[in-house]
Amino acid sequence: MDLQRNSVGIGQRPALILVDMINGFTSSACPLGTDCPEVVEANAQLLAAFREQKLPVFFTTVVYHNDDQASVFRNRIQALNCLTPDSEWVQVDPALAPVEGESLIEKQWASSFFGTDLNAQLEQAGADSLVVTGLTTSGCVRATVVDGLQHNFPVAVPREAVGDRNPQAHEANLHDMHAKYADVMALQDVLASLRSL
């Protein structure tokens, strides 16, 4: 049975974090990826809304510059070794390309916060809450959501803007995040909240 919880929603200056919406995860041509045009489209809608409101936007990608970075993780999931700086797989999906002023954060592990300066950038941007999207729900999205909460941000997850290769893992992690760490919301409800700011 889930604990009683309160819905927190988004604040007056939410930041959008698009977790690993990169070619290596949005294309089944990469061993790490899956075709998910509906997730890309949901992210495009959110991106347009955040840009219209001039709210902070952050992208993440996974890049390995040498054999020492995340060596245990990469030994466990060897397909990660294709994420090298010169690879097309580490580039943001062209449907969601960052524009000037939007940060692209390189990470080596699951959480967008771990080993990066994301928290410092969020503080500098004056963010008071997070909208976390991307791939995959059970992996890097969940890790980022948990760390977002642990950095004391209210976190919202638009259901349609996250995805996973495993449908059961996707649903289980949405349920668990909503029970403990975030408000899992319909995309249209998030967009409505943004319009009301």
**177 against 2, higher pLDDT:** 177
Q: Which of 48, 45, 24 is nearest to 36 (CA)?
A: 24
Domain boundaries, the chain: 14-62+91-195
What's this model's pTM, rounded to 2 decimal places? 0.97
140 as an active site residue: the answer is yes
pLDDT digits (tens, 9 = 90+) for 118-143: 999 999 999 999 999 999 999 999 99
Write down the pLDDT at residue 1. Answer: 78
CA distance 157 to 196: 18
Write down the pLDDT at residue 93. Answer: 98
pLDDT band at 154 (very low <50, low <70, confident <90, very high): very high
Give the pLDDT mean for 95-110: 97
pLDDT digits (tens, 9 = 90+) for 44-69: 999 999 999 999 999 999 999 999 99
Write down the pLDDT at residue 6. Answer: 85
Give the pLDDT mean for 189-196: 96
Residues 14-62+91-195: name the CATH superfamily.
Isochorismatase-like (3.40.50.850)
> Are residues 162 and 134 in contact, defined by beta-carbon separation less than 8 angstroms?
yes
Structure tokens given for 2? 């889930």
CA distance 38 to 119: 29
Count of CB atoms within 10 A of residue 34's CB? 16
Count of CB atoms within 10 A of residue 5's CB? 11
pLDDT band at 7 (very low <50, low <70, confident <90, very high): confident
Give the pLDDT mean for 24-37: 97
Among 30, 36, 82, 140, the active-site one is 140
